[in-house]
Amino acid sequence: MQPIGRRAEVKPGQTLLDAAREGGIEMTALCGGEGWCYGCRVRLEEGQLSPLTDAEKNGLTDAELALGYRLACQAVPLSHVKIEIPPESLATAQRLQVEGKEAAAAVDPVVHQVDVTVGEATLHDLRADTIRLLDALGSPEEIRFALPVLQTLSPTLRNQEWSVRLAIRDGEVIAVAPVGTPMLGFAVDMGTTKLAGYLVDLATGETLAKSGAPNPQISYGEDVISRIGYTMTHEDGAATLQRRVVETLNDLVWRLCAEAGRETRDVVEAVIVGNTAMQHIFARLPARQLALAPYVAAASEALTFRASEIGLALAPAAYVYMPPNIAGYVGGDHVAMALGTGAWESERTLVAIDIGTNTEVTVARGGHVWCCSCASGPAFEGAHIRDGMRAAPGAIEKVQIVDGVVHLKTIEGQPPVGICGSGIMDVVSEMYRSGIIDRKGALRPDAAGVEQNNGALAFTLAAAHDTGHGRPITVSRKDINEIQLAKAAIRAGVEILLSEAGATYDDVDEFIIAGAFGTYLDLHSSIRVGMFPSLPIHKFSQVGNAAGTGARQLLVSKARRAAASRLSAKATYVELTIHPDFSRRYMTALYFTAA
């Protein structure tokens, strides 16, 4: 079964869903396999399945059926089959991984390692230790030694009997170690909420260990604007935010090294990707101007500096690379995502999108790239929604309303305590589909489950006696409105970039959705509420943490770094707030109407 590459035995008459479960693959099946939640969509790649059931004919679009989509709870293999399980059909267990697509870049790291053996110094051979090594390397003119290396070189050379491994970066020796020591890299996707770290063998590109940690800056502000505010209102605010994240990364890389049986002193290169504000704060660049119009970055080019300059505890002369950004709100993480998915290098017409408080959108077409940032707000992170919450146990993540009856799925199957981002999208989509709200988002007072609540109408998703905290979970007009604002901003941004690129929806070959939230998003709900255009479902790709994948590619590939700089330099950034079409498209996109 793709993409996880697992094999499962299928007993005669057993459905794909049951076989998957027995094989340890947890799929989305809100309805328990009854065929009404359409959560277990899979695609037949090879072999033969039982004929389509009525449930499948109802739940799948003609386009999906044409592409071979089936419901795993309905289909029974009639032969050896090969099945693709789209990410949205995989349940919680797989979601907590930091994994995106594996890095596919050719290994061509900025740091290479070389083992050197030299003759011992004697009164008849008085060359300095450095010259002795450079002579052995055969290129004395072009290579220099970093000061921290010189500070340990002489005793290391003598302790290692005149044989050492050197790590050389751009003509500079940045580490000395016993012969054979593998040189390591540390890639970090530095999200506003979560840090994902990868320990990589620089010579092979292999990921030796990976792990995540919460971003400790969250206690100083949920989003980047409030964190920038903290740096402006507290004298040591910038230093504090920077120190906290560096401390966490120091701990993270130490843990990764311990897990892989390596030493942090052998980590000679780091790649840190984040949005523009996060990268600024990390490098102690002033972030104030990112919070004030016209929101320009202090620097947009790729930055390279010593890890020691910002307190990162790697090899003493290790360097940090941060990819270029494209604008104040289209950051290095978006560039890394575009690289990680290979999107921008394609000859086709592509939309790539990373949904968050700010949603970055890239459109690639005909060798050029357009980018924008949409102020989608924090609704998808559960904020500004009365019963909203982050994706945590007990969060409602999938909803179906069938004949007025609400079916819920919560994370880890706990009693519901709130609604996370993917859940709220489902709720609104189902409320619209069931006629509980109209196309403007207004609640119908006569719809089942809609009641007056503190003087305003609200729809009850879970009654008090069914929840984990004993209070009802409801959805108000204001909650609906937050989702409308968010999805309209994203839809308007996509449309404006496509029109700048001279393209229509029909031209779109692939619609890539990156990031954690985008991975869990139900595509059908997203299309039904109008956030995404109604493209054939196979044109959508939910690629997971592509920024982390891009970060690892940047760690091991000089070519990818060059590509990142080219992408940043050639991209046309479109500032939506001053675009003449923005208001019109935004107002139109507020309505619920799949088109």
List of residues contacting its own copies (CB under 8 A) = 121-131, 144-148, 150-155, 158, 283-286, 288-289, 293-301, 303-305, 309-310, 325, 327-328, 573, 575, 577-578
Q: Supply φ then ψ for residue 560, to 5 degrees.
A: -70, -35
CB of 148 to its own copies, least distance (A): 8
Task: Report DSSP letters for 127-150, one per residue.
Answer: --HHHHHHHHHT-TTT-EE-HHHH
Stated as kind and residue range, the H or E segment containing 42 is strand 41-46
CB of 569 to its own copies, least distance (A): 8
Task: Report DSSP letters for 373-386, one per residue.
Answer: EE---GGGGTTTST
- Residue closer to its own copies by CB (options 197, 324) is 324
CB of 144 to its own copies, least distance (A): 7
* Residues written for the chain: 595
Return contacts of 66-70, CB within 8 angstroms, 24+ apart: 67/43, 67/536, 67/537, 67/538, 68/43, 68/44, 69/41, 69/42, 69/43, 69/537, 70/16, 70/41, 70/42, 70/43, 70/44
- Residue closer to its own copies by CB (options 13, 578) is 578
CB of 228 to its own copies, least distance (A): 13
Record the tokens describing residue 318, joined without a space. Answer: 């290790």
CB of 177 to its own copies, least distance (A): 16
Q: Supply φ then ψ for residue 39, to 5 degrees.
A: -85, -15
- Residue closer to its own copies by CB (options 14, 289) is 289
- Residue closer to its own copies by CB (options 290, 408) is 290
Record the tokens describing residue 104, joined without a space. Answer: 């596919």
- Residue closer to its own copies by CB (options 81, 157) is 157
Neighbours of 310 (CB within 10 A): 17
CB of 547 to its own copies, least distance (A): 20
- Residue closer to its own copies by CB (options 569, 587) is 569
Q: Is the peptide bond before 3 cis (omega within 30 degrees of 0)?
A: yes
Contact 327, 297 (CB under 8 A): yes
CB of 303 to its own copies, least distance (A): 7
CB of 481 to its own copies, least distance (A): 27
- Residue closer to its own copies by CB (options 36, 586) is 586
- Residue closer to its own copies by CB (options 365, 579) is 579
Q: Supply φ then ψ for residue 293, to 5 degrees.
A: -55, 145
